[in-house]
Amino acid sequence: MSSGRIRVAGPGELGEGERERWRALRAASETPRNPFMEPEFTEAVGRVRPGARVAVVYEGTEPAGFLPYERGPLGQGRAIGLGVSDAQGAILRPGLDLETGELLKACSVSSFAFDNLEAEQRLFVRYAAEEHATYVIDVEKGYETYESVLRAQSPKFLKSTLAKGRKLGRQAGELRFVFDERDPAALRTLMEWKSAQYRRTGRRDRFAQEWITRLVGQLARTRAPECSGTLSALYAGERPVAAHFGLRSASVLACWFPAYDPEFAKFSPGLVLHLRMAEAAAADGIGMLDLGRGAAEYKDALKTGELPVYEGAVTRPGAGAALHWLSREPARRAHSFVRGRPRLASLAARTLKGAARLRRT
């Protein structure tokens, strides 16, 4: 499909020249090179989501921009992998003359929804309804510098976590950390832990959705310089006690699915794992760990800073805009209302956990 200077194709239909141009535009950007914005992530989504598309914007014969997205059955558009992707938007040449209306029309969508839009996305950010913080760990100057920051901002946390790690090693077996674990059994264990965590806390189990399970499997086998599936595991003796699956580029580790064995919860194995991940990432030349949006105590304890991301949608005039509003805005506004009131958010979390316990009985 094509419209004037914009060509729309399936992710697997891009030529190697187009993919290289995509990578070159990302390399030239001042935005952290988050692996969710690389062509490999879009291609992996394309293998499990039939509505995945890429709009390629041309200047003459040269690709000058890319918009990865998904098109729903009613013509609604959304960021590629929306719901699991932690960085979203278009990959454009700086200064490219492009209007959202032209782009959406060429994509044959009435809207383009996003919930983790990068801050530098000038084409879409003015349509954002909310700004959120994504929490980051800066290890650009090495792990020792990061530890010194933790000692200054939360000395009790660091001391306690390191002590728990030593105690875990004494009681459960010598600790062993693997930054890039290739054993498929370890990934299955992580997914089982994560599913159980979702159910315990009353949240929707992402791994109950086949496309997400298949996507993680696809990405676990992906090995590209700027988008590589990375499974990290912490073992006590021969037993896994915590694990994390995410994506890494040469400079960013995008943290995605962390979980631990609840039998060892008193030792905080998830926190121990994250410190080991930060140390290994820094040693491998990675400068930043992106913990993603969404408040959590462990993120507050580990973070060195925050970056803005945006949620919202751009729509074209017509019935499609009304359909988008009805399908997404009431729920988004309700979630925003709860998030903005800590006591209400705490009550909602307790209610979800109580409902989850009732379902298990």
pLDDT digits (tens, 9 = 90+) for 171-190: 999 999 999 999 999 999 99
Place of tokens 């105690």: 167
CA nearest neighbour of 246 among 260, 226, 233, 232: 232
**Cβ–Cβ under 8 Å, residues 112 and 99:** no
DSSP state of 358: H
pLDDT of 334-355, one tens digit each?
A: 555 445 555 544 544 444 445 4
- Say how many Å lie between the first and final Cα of the chain, rounded: 52
Q: What is the mean pLDDT of residues 94-118?
A: 96
Q: What's the gap between Cα 69 and its chain centre?
A: 15
pLDDT at 317: 80
pLDDT at 325: 55
Domain ranges of the chain: 6-132+309-356, 135-308
pLDDT of 20-53, one tens digit each?
A: 999 999 999 999 999 999 999 999 999 999 999 9
Assigned CATH topology for domain 6-132+309-356: Aminopeptidase (3.40.630)
pTM exceeding 0.85: yes
135-308 domain in CATH 3.60.15.10? no
* Helix axis angle, 269-283 to 155-172, nearest 10°: 100
Q: Does residue 350 or residue 83 have the better pLDDT? A: 83
pLDDT at residue 2 is higher than 70: no
pLDDT of 147-180, one tens digit each?
A: 999 999 989 999 999 999 999 999 999 999 999 9
pLDDT of 228-254, one tens digit each?
A: 999 999 999 999 999 999 999 999 999
pLDDT at residue 305 is higher than 80: yes
pLDDT at 361: 44
Which region among 124-138, 164-178, 281-295, 309-323 has the lowest average model confidence (pLDDT)? 309-323
Judge if 6-132+309-356 and 135-308 fold alike in CATH terms.
Answer: yes
Mean pLDDT computed over every residue of the chain:
91
pLDDT at 341: 52
